[in-house]
Structure 1
Amino acid sequence: MDEIPRKIDLGAVGVWRHGRTEPGLAAELERLGYGTLWLGGVNDPDLTEAEQLLDATENLVVATGIVNIWSHPAERVARSYRRIAERHPDRFLLGIGAGHPEATKEFVRPYEALNDYLDVLDAGGVPVARRALAALGPRVLRLARDRTAAAHPYLVTAEHTRGARDILGAGPLLAPEQKVVLETDPAKARAIGDATLGFYLGLANYVGNLRRLGFDDADFADGGSDRLFDALIVHGDTARVAKGVRAHLEAGADHVALQVLHPDGTDPLPAYRALAGALGLGLGGSEARE
């Protein structure tokens, strides 16, 4: 573990999933050409789900998006990282973040808390090259640049990606999350995505970031304006969604983590299959950037 690991390869496009992902789905996403599977809402500091998904795949990178610093002790997370990295070198990225104050009573001085957490990861043998930081604002983006391998912004636009790349410079990886709905009827797309967007509009850190991007109170009212919805949730046919993904790559992202929103009780896999084809992932992912 003393050797400095090489830069991790996330691929151009990955998948962001909230809730448990079955190993069979992870294997199918790998077969389709997605480079990384992001695990949202990690609840286990032992990171057993990440290990199980790595066991079930051969080349897929698994990333945590995110491990919450307030509820997952850094020493235990570092031990978990070492266990997994020994079995699956170059395939696990430890993403950490401070979450949001509405869900965490301990949320005090988050920037300092992130720095302290990274200190413990340093001492615990988690290399800079294998960790990422959830980052929205300039200060935390600079922290991601200085102390991790990657920034992982969530609920952002391609405009944010462009500004984040300017702050990060050429070295660190930039891996924004992008919500998508494969639905050509705008009203039906809104019906699928409204609840998700409305949840995040109740969280101060996301609203603050959106204000920096030029949105205002009118955009946040009544579950979000059409303008805000269209900016944050790419919807339409596969060609339009693929164009939205490429917008992040053209703005400076190295990787885009797709979160497919779909009606409750339906299978998202057909959407991932269709998007893999539209993005040319079966050809190794190179066409995603074209």
Structure 2
Amino acid sequence: MAIELGKIGIWRGATQTNGEFAAEVEKLGYGAVWLGGSPGGDLAIVEELLDATERLAVATGIVNIWADAPAAIAKAFHRIEKKHPGRFLLGIGAGHPEATQQYTKPYTALVEYLDALDAAGVPKESRALAALGPKVLKLAGDRTAGAHPYLVTPEHTRTAREVLGEGPLLAPEHKVVFDTDDDKARALGRKTVQFYLRLSNYTANLRKLGFTDEDLAGEGSDRLVDALALHGDAPAIAAGVRAHLEAGADHVNLQVLDEDPFPAYRALAAELF
């Protein structure tokens, strides 16, 4: 892996970040910021975060292949790579059929997008692929630095590592609520988790992980929410993060759901670093 991500990073919506945010999380010791929400073809926010920091890596989690043409993304990649060599990981993915009218033959579309990035000189080791199932996980290992699974558990991480084998990057996302009040923490976690219960690629993957129709119904069961949005004090959350590393993850990116994420960032930095 050419890009140094460290063991722990932060997943945050692109519109919720800026240079000041990146500089602060770098001081806390986090290795990377993953930008959610398909941050636009010019990737200006990536450059802003890298400009504001010295060693932090920035990854996209993800650029949606239906939203931005590979030529535009490749041009932005080369601009950023020239200015900040070895610090940008281009994460791409096919998104969700419920959210994208163009969503047809996603596997073929991913292969064609990767072919176009190859032709434009974007190196394999500088890109990653959003992946859940074995076919796309294998594609991620064969054609990119590795996989960025979203909305998963350590059980998925273990299976994904078996598919990828040793070597390719495995960088799952996990949600966090920094609160020891179970009811309050679950309520906050559920606000985010319930959105994904309308998306078939996620629900299919959750069923493979042993969650039932009852777990997935409505706003999601407590069991489901607890598995997908870790909550508690810093030691309890850190234990859940370490479970991914023990299952074979190289890097875990944390999506803190609290309105102010920095108390969690600080407490978890003290616990994990």
CA-CA distance at 1:110 after TM superposition: 0.1
Of 50, 61, 67 in structure 2, the residue corresponding to residue 65 of structure 1 is 61
For this pair of structures, how many residues does the alignment match? 272
Aligned-partner Cα distance in 1 for 2:10–2:124? 23
* Residue of structure 1 equivalent to 2:201: 205
Answer yes or no: is 1:32 the counterpart of 2:35. Answer: no
Q: 2:18 touches 2:48 (CA, 8 Å); kept in 1?
A: no
CA-CA distance at 1:213 after TM superposition: 0.7
Of 174, 183, 186 in structure 2, the residue corresponding to residue 187 of structure 1 is 183
For 1:271, give the aligned amino acid: A
- The share of aligned pairs that are identical, in percent, is 64
Answer yes or no: is 1:92 the counterpart of 2:85. Answer: no
1:1-290 equivalences in 2 (<5 Å)? 7-18=2-13, 19-262=15-258, 266-280=259-273
For 2:267, give the aligned amino acid: A
CA-CA distance at 1:20 after TM superposition: 3.0
CA-CA distance at 1:42 after TM superposition: 2.3
Deviation by residue 1:193-251 (Cα, 9 ceiling, x = unmatched): 11101000010000010011111110011211111111111111000000000000000
CA-CA distance at 1:156 after TM superposition: 0.2
Aligned-partner Cα distance in 2 for 1:267–1:212? 33
Q: 2:39 touches 2:60 (CA, 8 Å); kept in 1?
A: no
The DSSP-based 3-state class of the residue aligned with 2:98 is helix
Aligned-partner Cα distance in 1 for 2:218–2:127? 37
Deviation by residue 1:146-196 (Cα, 9 ceiling, x = unmatched): 000020000000000000000001110100001011111110001111110
The DSSP-based 3-state class of the residue aligned with 1:101 is coil
For 2:11, give the aligned amino acid: W
Aligned-partner Cα distance in 2 for 1:33–1:279? 10
Aligned-partner Cα distance in 1 for 2:146–2:138? 11
Aligned-partner Cα distance in 2 for 1:267–1:235? 15
Aligned-partner Cα distance in 2 for 1:79–1:22? 22
Q: TM-score, normalised by structure 2?
A: 0.98
Displaced runs of 4+ in structure 1, greater than 3 A? none
Aligned-partner Cα distance in 2 for 1:46–1:94? 12
Aligned-partner Cα distance in 2 for 1:45–1:68? 10
Give RMSD over aligned pairs.
0.8
Deviation by residue 1:233-281 (Cα, 9 ceiling, x = unmatched): 111100000000000000000000000011xxx321121111111112x
The DSSP-based 3-state class of the residue aligned with 1:115 is helix
Q: 2:186 touches 2:226 (CA, 8 Å); kept in 1?
A: no
Aligned-partner Cα distance in 2 for 1:152–1:95? 8
Aligned-partner Cα distance in 1 for 2:46–2:38? 9
5+ residue gaps, structure 1:
1-5, 281-290
Aligned-partner Cα distance in 2 for 1:156–1:83? 33
The DSSP-based 3-state class of the residue aligned with 2:217 is helix
Aligned-partner Cα distance in 2 for 1:246–1:190? 21
5+ residue gaps, structure 2:
none
The DSSP-based 3-state class of the residue aligned with 2:89 is strand
